[in-house]
Amino acid sequence: MNMLSPDSWLMRGMADVVDAIWINVLMVVTSIPLVTIGASVTAGYDAARRSLDGEGHVTANYFRAFRDNVVAATLLWLPFLAVGAGLAYAWVVLQITPLLVPKFGLTILWVIGFEWVFVLQARFENDVLHTLANAYVFGVTNVVSTLAVVVIDVVFVVLVVASVIYLPGGAPLLLILGYGAVLMLHVPIMERALRRYR
């Protein structure tokens, strides 16, 4: 097969990179009011999933998912925002040894919930409390998938920080790819875990 054919792995890969960049741009724009970050992540996941499945246009898919999920995803995001801010304060300011175990425990719970709650919001119709509870059920029962997406996130953050410190010229490329590229990597892992529930 010709590598420049639209169906070649090279061209499909390039199309996925372009879609990841565009999803990242849409997420950044719609996350400017910080309260909409949950809706942006939900819409980003939905758009990334549909892009990899070849369904529709990225922009239309993104804004449809954003519109459909903005209320529920925002209600899900606000507790994560509050607890995340508290955890950041605790890790940076409260350097008290007896607090290490609760800080680690709450951080692990926060990460598990964050990785799953917006995926479930994008994929299933449910009320906010059941979506939140199911995020922890899925996060614990699919521990390999949870660890895989956490590793992807950690590697991305480490690459960005290392680029800023050691190779500032590479940081803009990583920031352009941003969380859209991370979501494109998350989709196959999460969809495999969700396969039996579709």
Is position 4 within any domain? no
Supply 71's token pair.
């209320």
Summarize the confidence of residues 114-131 as an average pLDDT.
94
Is position 15 within any domain? yes
Is position 2 within any domain? no
Domains contained in the chain, number: 1
Q: Is 91 exposed, middle or buried (0-12, 13-18, 19+ CB in 10 A)?
A: middle
Band (pLDDT 50/70/90 cuts) for residue 14 is confident
Is position 129 within any domain? yes
Residue 119 CA to residue 113 CA, distance in Å, equals 10
Through-space distance between the first and last CA atoms of the chain, rounded to whole angstroms: 34
* Overall residue count recorded for the chain in this entry: 198
Summarize the confidence of residues 145-151 as an average pLDDT.
96
Four-residue CA torsion sign, 25, 30, 36, 42: negative
Give residue 90's domain range: 9-195
Is position 114 within any domain? yes
Which residue matches tokens 């994560």? Answer: 80
- Centroid of chain to Cα 166: 26
DSSP 97: G
Is position 94 within any domain? yes
pLDDT of residue 179: 85
Residue 198 CA to residue 196 CA, distance in Å, equals 6
- Please give the helix or strand (H or E) that residue 123 lies within, else none: helix 100-123
Is position 3 within any domain? no
Is position 66 within any domain? yes
Band (pLDDT 50/70/90 cuts) for residue 68 is very high
Residue 91 CA to residue 26 CA, distance in Å, equals 31
Band (pLDDT 50/70/90 cuts) for residue 9 is low
pLDDT at 8 over 60: no
**Residue 146, number of CB atoms within 10 A of its CB:** 20
